[in-house]
Structure formats: C-alpha cells, structure tokens
Structure 1
C-alpha cells in the first residue's frame, strides 16, 4: 500500500504554513509527524480500531490531512504493482458540512495539481458511478451514518455505501473523520406518540383493528397505573409485542389516508398526525432492529429508549481528528478502545487568554429559555464591562434561548447555538467568546449512549449508580454526561481567534472567554476540561451576581447514603439515624417506605453499602438499621 514520506509531508506543510503567515516550531513539526505516522498506519492489514488525534485547534489538522491525501502516490495499475500491493489505498474523508467537503476537495486537488478528489452530496456534480473513480472521496457525517444504516440500494448493483467505499475492486483502506462523530443513533419514543398513532390509525375507515392489538398491549403495559415510574429494562413480553407490530401494513394504511382523516382537534384548529405517526413507526422499526429497549419516565410520561452505535465505530477503523478526544470518555468505551494520541507539550500556549469564570449560576436549557429575555441585558452589560474597546463577541446559547435574543442593533455581538458550532471557522476574528448556558443532555441520552457502547443493561444497572462502575469511571452515565458538556464547551470556546497561533510558541492574539457555571461536580468537570485545553490561560473571577442558583435542599436519599457511607459497622436505631441525619420524621418515614421495596434504587444503594433495615412492631419496640 502506497504511503507518504513524513519528511516530504512536513517540508510541504512547513512551506504551506509559512505561506499563511504562520510561524513553525519544533512541537508543531512533531505534531505533524505524529499525524503523518498515524495516517500511514491507518488501513494497513493489521489495523484494528480507531485512532483519535487529540490535537488542539490552530495546528492545521484538516490542512495537513488534505496535503497528506494529495501526496499519496497513485501508481499505475500493473500486474507487478498488484502483486506488491503498491497501489493507492483509497481515502474516504468524512466531515460535518457539504461546504467543508467541497473545501477539502479543493485543497487536495490544488496541492496535487490534478483532480484526484471529489465530493459526493446532494449539491455536488459527482455521480454515484463517478465516486468509485476518485482515489479520495469526501462525504458528510450524515451521509456516512445514513448509507451504512439503511443499506440503500443504488440504481445498479450494490448499495450506495458499497459505491462510496469501493476502490480498485476492493474497499477504500483509509477513513478519516473530521470532528467528533455521532457516537450513537438514539431512539426516544414517548407514550403520547404511541397513543396518537394508535388513535390515528385504528379508527380509520376500513381499518383492521386486530392488527393494532400488539401496539395496544405495549401501550397498556408501559402506562399501567401501578407503574413505579422508575427506569427499567423492557420485559420479554413487551419486546415480543414490539416485534408483533406490523409497521409495513401500518405505513400502507397511513399512505392511503388523507390528512383530514388523520387530523385531531387542538383548540380552534386541527393538527394532522401524519408526521407523528411516521416518526413513531420509524422508532418502532429501529427498536425492532436493535432488539432491545428500556423505559424511562419524565413528568410521569413513559418513554421507550434504545440506541445503536455509529456503524463505522461498530466495526471499522481509521483516523478521527478531534481536539476534544481526550476529554470525551466514549473513545475509551469503544471495543477495542480508541488510541487517543495527544499533541506534544507546548505546541500551543494560551497565556494571552483571560478566562472570566462566574460560579453558582443556573445553566440549563429550560431555565435559560424561560429567563433569557430578562437576563440578556444584564449578561451583555457584564460582558461589555470587561471589554470596553468594542471587541467582537461570540455568544453561544441553547437554540431555544438564542431565538429569544435580538442583537440586530449590536454589530459587535454574534450569536450561535450548541449543535451548529462545532468545527466552524465563521468567528475566527472575534476577540471574545461567552458561553451562556451548558448543553445538558436529557436524562435518557447518556444511558442510551452507554448501552450503545457497552450493550444492553439490566434494570438494576439503570436504577442504581453503584452498579454502573465501568473501567475507571464510578458512574459511566455521569461521566458521559459531563464529558459531553466539557467537549461541547471546548468546541464553542475555540471558535474565536484563539484558534490561530501567531508565533513559534503557539500563542494566540489576546482573547477573552466568559463562563457562567453551576457549582458542584458538573461545573467542576467543565472548568477542569476547559483549563486543560487552554494551557497558560489566566483565570479571573467574574462577579456576576444575578441569576445565581439558590442553595438547594439536599435530598433525603443523598443524606442517608452519605451518612451510611461514613458510618462504622454497627447497629443504629431509627431515632439515632434521624438525629444524625437531621431530617424530619416525615421524610424519614417516606424514605423507609421506599427502601422496603426490594427493587427500589434506595434499597439497592443501601444493599451496596451493606446496610439492612429491620422494622420492629409492638409496644416499646424500635426499628433499626445494621451496617455490616
């Protein structure tokens, strides 16, 4: 397999880097050599699993990948080269947006001096038949996931994915993924959608109502009035009901029905349920394909959940260019674990960065959406007070909060939201960035991602943090959640001009970063990850007193777990426990009622600590706890 000489690649990258007006340092050269060695190793016959290059922004990761692809020798197809395996390996480059795919292709072809690369997407001129003729092909993340998952048949023989990955009677050997891939395709289907689908289809004219019995049984089971509202694995009979649901016949009924027949009254208007039914049937089909599901509850509404690992991560190998790979635990949970390679020390220096941090603030999407209109003028005033010279500011919020903020009269401020910002260079001349809110995941998503990586888990695992110790992580769900928030924060922060190095020490131009963080482990995790991504940055306390989180009352369960975690093995009467914990008699009685259910999370957590409860009945008797 043809490869690239690292010395040739580094010499070419050095010329390119200096043409950009950048300085070249020894740590930067070592970073490029590490990248070249990793790219050469990818796709070899003995390659197993993924390598994540956790190189910081501003060292030219994507430019180097384009240059590397342009330098890959492309020998003629001769009998001797076929015998020696001395042929172009074929490269598939995967990036987030179609514009980035086009730019990558333009860079490769310019460096190569000829057309060796093409992009395949809806707006590109490259046909599916043409795709197999180019040694380097660029596609989007969405296409990479979609065409592997659906096995979409092409117009001639083979699937679309087989055409995209086909090269020289075989498959492209090197896959390069730019930025973090979507680790898991998650399914979330709530009971309201199931009920609406059932109501929309079952009562259509000429409907065969018996074909909806499995759907009815599933809905009745997950919404049973005696449910505990605790997360649990789906029972065997419930999974069997899902397999019995004939989505093909339901789709036929949906196609035959007009919108009026599918309409439901919502106040003065009628809403068509066609889109809801289509999404419900797609979710059911995904669960049928995955073969497992679990139930969570939110505001007493049942939700079916399942997930599958990204198809490339499931059984592929290659290179992932991700500056945040070192802080996201998903890489270590792959099988085999990804080889995360960090950049050499001192490749970047952020001593020109001021990090303004305010703690104790509410940062969730719901709170920000409800209060951003009132708080935005105060946020803006606090930021501008630290930036009196008209510096341009990128403000990153949740999407729903962004829609409520108007900056049309504020040319110095640009708005972006989580989910659209990763990897983009639109704001690389801005002097400051502010994160107003953190991208918390909903309660079900970390469990979906974990099970996509580790396999379906039990009800006990879903309900009990003590059972979720995985590798070095005490609770893998909490770790995945915090890793997601930290990686998202780092991605957002590095969109402004700090991403560009201006000297051989890897410094950037003076840049200001503003963070509003909660207290506790979530805020600690994000701050620690941000500081690790900004070596040399100076942290400054930011006095922002409005919108602070009120000190919360510690839940009874947490009080008891802390009490018995620190307690010595002994017998403790109910009165002693109440006195030591400082909680009310009513709260203690409610807690005791919960632990008397063998499957409750409280009972399972006490079991893990070796604590048992003994109720005593009769005059003068007192209940007690025993820690073994």
Structure 2
C-alpha cells in the first residue's frame, strides 16, 4: 500500500468518493432510482477495485483478474460508463506531471459496444471513447487519441489471432494510446462466454477437401497437404478409438499437431468458388451458403492445428475438438463485471489468477419476485423441438389463465421454436415478446416487462464442459474423460453444466423489471417468473443457485405439466412476426412453402392467402422479410409449380 501512495501523485486517478457522488447523482436524478447505503457501498467497492487494478498494472505486477459481482439492477454497465467518463475528465484536468489513464472495455455485442461509447461521450460532452469492431473499425489515429476504447470479444479475437499466430500490431494499437499502455480493462460480460470452442467433424473435413479444385491444389500445395495430413490423422484416431471402444481421447497437445499451415490464401480462393454450378445450379445464395460452410470448416481446421485437440465420438460422428480463452489472462488490469459470478464455476477454475471481490450485503431484495417452478423430463433443445407443438399449446392454455390483460410477458426459449411462442392476442395480454438463448444476455429491451417465462433450457454437451475445463486448467490425461474429477467435485463436467444453466436462467430473468430498484431496500416492482426445471437432483441444485443469487425470492410450485393431456388452443392465425421470426432463425437457403405450411399448420386456403401476401412487394410482411434477407420465389407453372422463401447468406 505504501508503494501506491506515490502512484496517486503520478497518475490522474479518479477518487472513489468522487465516483460515488457523481454516480449517485446520475442514478437518482437522471434515472429516478433510490440510492440506498448498500448500493453506495457497492459503488465504492467498484471504484476501489478499478483503482487498485490501475495501480497494480502501473507497477508492472502480474495480471490478476478482479471479479465484481454486482447484482442485476445495481448499475454494473452504467457504473463503467460513469467511471470511464470521469477518468477522461481527470485526464484532461490533471496537473502536467500526472500521467493520464487509458481504459479498454470489452462488451459482448457490437450494439452494446456502440451504446457504451455513445453513453460515455454523452456523459463527458465530447468524444473521448471509440468503438472498434467489424462494423466500425477505428483508425490507429482514433485509437491513439481516445481515452477509452470499447471492443467486442470478436474484435479482440480478430486482433489477437492471425492464421499463424499473434497479430502484435493490432493488439498493440488497442492496448496503447497517447498516455502509454492502457491500465484498466473492464470486461462487461460473464466469463462463461469467453471460451472459444473449435470443432471439426471428420465427414465435413473430407467434404471440404473434396471441393478443392486441381488449380487450387497447384497454387496452395502446402496448405492442401496440411489438410490431408489432418484428415489422415483424424482417420487414424477415429479407428483407434473405435477399436478400443474409447469415446474421447487426446489427439495431440499444443505445439504437437501433425501439420502447421497458414490457410489465409486458400480460404480466400475457396470463398470465390462457384459451388452452386458445381452442384448443377445457378444460385448466388446457394454459393454463399456453401462458401460460408466450407470456410467455417477451414477456420476450425486452422484453430485445431494451432492448439491442443481431442477426438470424440457422438453418435456415429467423429470430431476433433479444442478450446481456448478468447480474452487472455494477461489483459492489462482486468476487472470483470458479472452478476452471475456467484454461481459461475469458471472463477474457481482460474484459482489464484482471480480474486472475487465480496459484494456488500443488502444491495438487492427480490421479495417482490415470485418464482413459479414446474418440473419435467427432457427440456433441452432436441426435446423442445420434437415436442414443440403440444408443449406450446399446453403452455398457452396454462399461462393465459393466470395473467391479467395489462401484463407484459417475455418468453425465453430455444431459437428453433421461437416462432411458436404465443402472441399477445393468443394470451389476452398487453404485450408478449420472445428472445432465444444466446441473444438475451445483457439486453435492456424488456426492462418494463412484469412477467418472464423460461421454457426449455440451454444444455451443453459433455464436449463443452471438457473444453471449458481444459481452457482453464490445462489438458488432462485420457483417464480423466471417464472420471472427470477436480478437487472435491466427483464430476466437474456435470457441475459446469448445472452452474451454466443456473447462470443462464439468472441472466434471462434479469431482463425484466426485477432489474429496476424502486425503494431504499433494493426491492423491485411485483414480478412473476415461470420456469420449467429438470426433475431430480439436477433441478433441485439449479433452484438452490437461483435462490442464492436472488435473495428473498418467493418460490411457489407451478402445477403445469408440459406433456400432459393434449390441449386445443386458438391461435391468432399466422401473424407477420411469427413468420419473420421463423425465417430470421433459419439457415441461408430455400424453405419451401410446404415446409412453412406444415410448421404453422396452415390449411390450403390459408397457405394460398399467405402466398398472395408474399407476392405483394409492398406488404408489411414482405418488407419485414426482405429486411431479414428473405425473398419470395417460385419455379414452374401449373400443378408442378414450386413456391419458396429464399434466405440469402449474411
């Protein structure tokens, strides 16, 4: 601490008390929310943690991750905005001898990065922050001049990696500015999303190699040879696994792959191939779809040759897998803002590389939240798709009987069934919206909704758990796959699964109005959450994690059976939103009208009426589909005519 005293004079540091005062003012006056004493203690903890991280980095100490776990609705992102703005102000007004402090913020999505930049610049009243991502690549000059740079995980990945290693120049531009090295990195994201998984299926690699033309083989002999060596290695490992009845086994450790190659040029050439004509078609959308598919395969091959890899068998499909942290542990002054840190096992797996900062008690009180819990078997993606029709009918019948007309309802479901979510007209409520797993974290779009329905859970397969564990704890021996223990935990893969599900649920329910504080006790307005959990020990443990993270939440049994007697419900036809959602979530390519008819249960006349709408280029449905990259088309005439919707590749 003595060493820190001198640093206060050397750097333009934001006094914690100043942050608390300015943030309290913004919280109460601009956002009209009460600031309790526990909240102010939390904000002081945030400011102290940021300052400690800055001073530690300035002293050149080894990078340690400081993890703040502010509860949902306690000013996590808003606090990062205010602190960054204050830091820019102090940089401008500090004495000439004081060094300015640069900040980097890592957000999950491009839209979130842009919003943070806009908020910081608006708060300061001038441009002090800049975003850097694929839609808005900042110039070196802007990065050099900006007090704050906001990036996404994808932007970090593209800066960190080339196909043969590390892009030192771009990463240097992000982490350095006119004040020298940036001293603080705020990761506004759950750590669960910063492990990058790579998977390469044997059949897909063979298919991709088969599309390499003879001309490309002559132009890129080294790259093609590396891919063929990789394929032979996969065949060998697959045969050995089959022979000895091994489901998962290490193929190689990092640095010991059978080949190394920079596939940049080959990938560029293959992206331009006319795959559609090879398959006897003349279809640009089909060409783009296949180009993306094969490029993804080559990208996975590249990553696997550059990292460790393990071979696994799922069903009849052999695949090669690997994982790595997309955000390195050596970030300058990393501080993570994660409302679900209390249940996320990843911080435990980081061991002495992470410090979880205690959160003051009494910040939030969720006694006005009622959690309605039902139990059932099979609520993962496959089961929800297989049983979607009768399950959503049963859900609609049950929920509509429980909700009053003024309610606003958010459904969180799997992507492939999102279009089956009941509409507000189906339920008889003021508003009903849907979001799917993977696209719900962090959004504020539903902050005024009073009801959340969680229907279907985002289970991960055992390969994911293995990848997470290896990324943080290092590669394990083959025996570990059959006996995945760690410390006192008998099955760390299953524990990762349960913690992941709990964290995902907490993130999802945190999108509705329970996030907004209404009184000095940290309570929210009355909110209902309906959720279907797994039967047995897994569901019980997940519920305990939810109770832990939502203090004083009221839990009630929900007498709902998704697979009970069949229920008939009245649907509001085929509204525009349902079809647009369905097509937005589809992969690029054709979707025949017969598929759409079956999916939505359309009668012949309803299907004809829909086609009439789709032929009208100015109809709202047609315009909305076009925005999603979808157009209506038909081939042939008379009884043999075929109609379809075509979605272009992004």
TM-score with structure 2 setting the length? 0.75
Matched, 1:279 2:290: no
Matched residues in 2 for 1:106 and 1:244: separation? 42
Counterpart contact for 1:214–1:244, Cα < 8 Å: no
Structure 2 counterparts to residues 193-272 of structure 1, below 5 A:
193-201=204-212, 213-224=228-239, 226=243, 228-234=245-251, 242-243=258-259, 247=263, 251=267, 254=270, 258-259=274-275, 263=279
Deviations 1:523-567 (A, max 9, x none): 123211111121111111100123279xxxxxxxxxxxxxxxxxx
Alpha-carbon RMSD: 3.2
Partner of 1:535: 551
Deviations 1:102-161 (A, max 9, x none): 33233323333433222233554853321210111222232123212339999xx96222
Q: Give 3-state SS (helix, strand or coil) of 1:395's partner.
A: strand
Partner of 2:400: 384
Give the Å deviation of 1:241: 6.8
Counterpart contact for 2:14–2:51, Cα < 8 Å: yes
Name structure 1 gaps, 5 residues minimum: 550-628
Partner of 1:71: 86
Partner of 1:180: 190
Residue from 4, 13, 16 that aligns with 2:23: 13
Residue from 8, 14, 36 that aligns with 1:4: 14
Partner of 1:105: 117
Counterpart contact for 2:67–2:356, Cα < 8 Å: yes
Matched residues in 2 for 1:235 and 1:102: separation? 40
Structure 2 counterparts to residues 591-610 of structure 1, below 5 A:
none
Structure 2 counterparts to residues 122-521 of structure 1, below 5 A:
122-124=134-136, 126-150=138-162, 159-168=169-178, 170-181=180-191, 182-201=193-212, 213-224=228-239, 226=243, 228-234=245-251, 242-243=258-259, 247=263, 251=267, 254=270, 258-259=274-275, 263=279, 274-290=291-307, 292-313=308-329, 316-334=332-350, 336-405=352-421, 407=423, 409-410=425-426, 412-462=431-481, 464-465=482-483, 468-521=484-537
102-111 or 10-19, which moves further after superposition? 102-111
Q: Specify whether residues 140 and 27 from structure 1 end up closer, same or farther in structure 2 by C-alpha distance, changes over 3 A only.
A: same
Give the Å deviation of 1:76: 7.0
Q: Specify whether residues 253 and 348 from structure 1 end up closer, same or farther in structure 2 by C-alpha distance, changes over 3 A only.
A: closer
Name structure 2 gaps, 5 residues minimum: 1-10, 566-650
Q: Specify whether residues 158 and 374 from structure 1 end up closer, same or farther in structure 2 by C-alpha distance, changes over 3 A only.
A: same
Deviations 1:478-523 (A, max 9, x none): 2222111111110001100010010000010000011101112321
Counterpart contact for 1:222–1:302, Cα < 8 Å: no
Give the Å deviation of 1:469: 2.6
The structure whose Rg is larger is 1
Partner of 1:43: 54
Q: Give 3-state SS (helix, strand or coil) of 2:149's partner.
A: strand
Matched residues in 1 for 2:22 and 2:230: separation? 62
TM-score with structure 1 setting the length? 0.78
345-354 or 194-203, which moves further after superposition? 194-203
Counterpart contact for 1:215–1:245, Cα < 8 Å: no
Matched residues in 2 for 1:326 and 1:12: separation? 28
Matched residues in 1 for 2:158 and 2:189: separation? 17
Q: Specify whether residues 186 and 235 from structure 1 end up closer, same or farther in structure 2 by C-alpha distance, changes over 3 A only.
A: closer
Partner of 1:92: 104
468-477 or 389-398, which moves further after superposition? 468-477
Q: Specify whether residues 149 and 521 from structure 1 end up closer, same or farther in structure 2 by C-alpha distance, changes over 3 A only.
A: farther
Counterpart contact for 1:187–1:307, Cα < 8 Å: yes
Partner of 2:588: none
Matched residues in 1 for 2:226 and 2:81: separation? 54
Counterpart contact for 2:72–2:339, Cα < 8 Å: yes
Give the Å deviation of 1:399: 0.7
Matched residues in 1 for 2:336 and 2:257: separation? 40
| Number of residue pairs aligned between Structure 1 and Structure 2 | 534
Partner of 1:26: 37
Partner of 1:117: 129
Counterpart contact for 2:310–2:321, Cα < 8 Å: yes
416-425 or 529-538, which moves further after superposition? 529-538
Counterpart contact for 1:149–1:311, Cα < 8 Å: no
Matched residues in 2 for 1:26 and 1:303: separation? 53
Matched residues in 2 for 1:7 and 1:38: separation? 13
Counterpart contact for 1:362–1:548, Cα < 8 Å: no
Counterpart contact for 1:362–1:517, Cα < 8 Å: no
Give the Å deviation of 1:13: 1.7
338-347 or 171-180, which moves further after superposition? 338-347
Give the Å deviation of 1:342: 3.8
Give the Å deviation of 1:452: 0.7
Counterpart contact for 1:152–1:160, Cα < 8 Å: no
Q: Give 3-state SS (helix, strand or coil) of 2:561's partner.
A: coil
Counterpart contact for 1:353–1:510, Cα < 8 Å: yes
